[in-house]
A and B are shown apart, each in its own frame.
Chain A
């Protein structure tokens, strides 16, 4: 038996030595090389598929052909945002930094991993390195979404928010000529639709973590501390003691009890098919909705539904940003800096906005003639920009470790409250306990 143990130990130690025998990475001295002095290729990971992918290819081709610094961008599609984040995390865990790209498109799920990577070349770093200050060129709300722990991680590329779409024809039949503004309006609209003999649902969704963050944000609170986890890793709930969650749940239940709310996440297709009158969704979905409705009815757009009359207007910013990694190569860094400015600059932002429905985060884009003309022709696209201006700068989307568990826990709790007719106070307590337990558990396993 002793012999057996000895053999096992020898095998294990040998295996460990085999895989741990790599020499520690030496930090190379970085010498600055002027951009344009030699050809340089940088790698760009993106998650743009379908039509957005076609646009992305167009921008890359344009940049490669027109830049005067001999820069070639090698763009690689890396699946959905969550897949790209998993890939980044895997490479970071394996410390195989040479596989990291120079620049990457990232959504909120990858923020913390990027910040903790030790290889992040943040906008603060870049501004100091290149002696340029460019942050003033971008909308504050859009920039704020990509800030973490006091660092500006990246620059906004695809900026969206959540807005309210409505079927103008259906609402007109019910005697409405404007977009519902609050939950109370939905109750009134539902009554008017029923009175007019309209069988379509007034509104239907099940709140999840991002949408709850919007509504709790309208009430001047955050779901979790550290400004919804935007300044540091969230450790506790912040919407229980101040009554924000209770206010939201009370108004939500009132909508359901009045028969105005369907306790289901209704899809874009159901809105397009005319099965629901009011629909809240990403502003980036506007092109898709307009093209699929294809004139079957008139689509209206308005600001995101408010919880009640005293709630603020607006919703958090979402979408994706571009972040840079520190390759330790000054030429690559300079090329990446040029490329990120090109991708987030006026030209690309306006074209991408027109092609997809995202809102340009570059300030001067709003004065761009082509964009102005476009907004005049399709006013539904203008709602997102108007809403961003109305949204309190303090509102933040939610960034937490157990993001998936949180998402479904919120959906289940709120949905159960309606389907099982539970008391609001009981649900507040249950959500408080369960969501806090998820946070605690996450911190226990990720100290």
Chain B
């Protein structure tokens, strides 16, 4: 009995050490980024991880001023928030249809949608740009987010989650007078909230970090640019200002971090439920 206990204790310790090590590896770039953002130019040349003082905030004020980051944060927020919102609505509706409705060519359409996941985004750059320009939507927020409205992977994940909810529940709801939309809104979405929350955060971060597409569709209107474009303004080929870039990155992390903190409980639950769904 004692031997088994010792064995388990050793196993737990080893697993914990490995988990901590992996956690540190994952979090280290963020620690490096935060520490670097507080360093002076000369401190950045030393191999020390920690800055001389965490009260040196000149990099942050310079980054905000030189990169016009406040303006761009506003743009990024509009693009990321509304883009994600519309993407979630469309994904939920499509997932619901594929999970519950039977219609002709359902499987063909489903695999066609899944097939789009295999097309690299860069390949679509020119064609998407052509479409947006023909529709006279260049230099608008709509242009920045429209290509992200449909996400095959999110639709697929939601469909899998919806299918794991017993069909009896829908039938019971129908008996109680619920239509499809009211069942979806009042019953299914609350049940699947953890997965939806996780996808929302993931999607928000994706759109927040978008660089090339917003740059291209706002070519004539720099006021519409997003924060990632602002960060490139902080560094130049002639003068490497990594501490300034790191300060810019720290600023850009704030909204995603806030969102993550607000939604982390639901996300954790989502991860656990996903594992059960398999």
A interface residue numbers (CB < 8 A to B)? 4, 19, 22, 43, 45, 48-53, 76-81, 83, 86-87, 89-91, 93-96, 99, 267-269, 272-273, 282, 284-285, 287-288, 292, 294, 356-358
Confirm or deny: B234 has a beta carbon within 8 angstroms of a beta carbon on chain A.
yes
Question: A4-B105, A93-B130 are contacts. A287–B42 as well, Cβ < 8 Å?
Answer: no
Contact A94 B236 (CB under 8 A): no
Confirm or deny: B240 has a beta carbon within 8 angstroms of a beta carbon on chain A.
yes
Question: A50-B66, A83-B212, A99-B133 are contacts. A294–B233 as well, Cβ < 8 Å?
Answer: no
Confirm or deny: B10 has a beta carbon within 8 angstroms of a beta carbon on chain A.
no
Chain B residue with the shortest CB-CB distance to A292: B41
Interface centre among A22, A80, A90, A269, by most chain B C-beta atoms within 10 angstroms, is A90
Chain B residue with the shortest CB-CB distance to A93: B126
Nearest-neighbour CB distance to chain B for A337, whole angstroms, equals 22
Q: How far is the CA of A265 from the CA of B23 in the complex (A)?
A: 30
Chain B contributes a number of interface residues (CB within 8 A of A) equal to 33
Nearest-neighbour CB distance to chain B for A225, whole angstroms, equals 29
Contact B134 A76 (CB under 8 A): no
Question: A50-B66, A79-B229, A272-B45 are contacts. A96–B129 as well, Cβ < 8 Å?
Answer: yes
Nearest-neighbour CB distance to chain A for B93, whole angstroms, equals 21
Nearest-neighbour CB distance to chain B for A371, whole angstroms, equals 18
Contact B238 A284 (CB under 8 A): yes
Residues of A within 8 A of B220 (CB): 43, 76, 99
Residues of A within 8 A of B57 (CB): none
Residues of B within 8 A of A78 (CB): 215, 219
Residues of A within 8 A of B134 (CB): 19, 22
Q: How far is the CA of A87 from the CA of B130 in the complex (A)?
A: 12
Chain B residue with the shortest CB-CB distance to A273: B45
A contact face: mostly helix, strand, loop, or mixed: helix
Return the CB mask of B165-206 against A: 1 if under 8 Å, else 0: 000000000000000000000000000000000000000000
- Tell which of B131, B138, B238 touches A285, judged by Cβ atoms closer than 8 Å: B238
Nearest-neighbour CB distance to chain B for A92, whole angstroms, equals 9
Contact B215 A50 (CB under 8 A): no
Contact B133 A87 (CB under 8 A): no
Return the CB mask of B121-145 against A: 1 if under 8 Å, else 0: 0000110011101100010000000
B interface residue numbers (CB < 8 A to A)? 41-42, 44-46, 66, 105, 125-126, 129-131, 133-134, 138, 212, 215-216, 219-220, 222, 229, 232-241, 244
Residues of A within 8 A of B240 (CB): 267-269, 288
Chain A residue with the shortest CB-CB distance to B225: A77
Question: A49-B236, A83-B212, A284-B238 are contacts. A94–B129 as well, Cβ < 8 Å?
Answer: yes
Q: How far is the CA of A84 from the CA of B237 in the complex (A)?
A: 14
Some 11 contacts from A to B, beta carbons below 8 A apart, are A22-B134, A50-B66, A50-B233, A83-B212, A86-B125, A86-B212, A86-B216, A94-B129, A94-B133, A273-B45, A282-B238
Q: How far is the CA of A269 from the CA of B219 in the complex (A)?
A: 34
Residues of B within 8 A of A86 (CB): 125, 212, 216
Contact A90 B215 (CB under 8 A): no
Residues of B within 8 A of A89 (CB): 126
Contact B46 A79 (CB under 8 A): no
Contact B216 A50 (CB under 8 A): no
Chain B residue with the shortest CB-CB distance to A270: B45
Nearest-neighbour CB distance to chain B for A213, whole angstroms, equals 18
Question: A93-B130, A94-B130, A273-B45 are contacts. A99–B238 as well, Cβ < 8 Å?
Answer: no
Q: A22-B134, A89-B126 are in contact. List 17 more A-B contacts (CB 8 A).
A: A19-B131, A49-B232, A49-B235, A50-B234, A50-B235, A50-B241, A80-B237, A81-B237, A87-B215, A91-B129, A94-B126, A95-B130, A96-B133, A269-B240, A284-B238, A356-B238, A358-B238
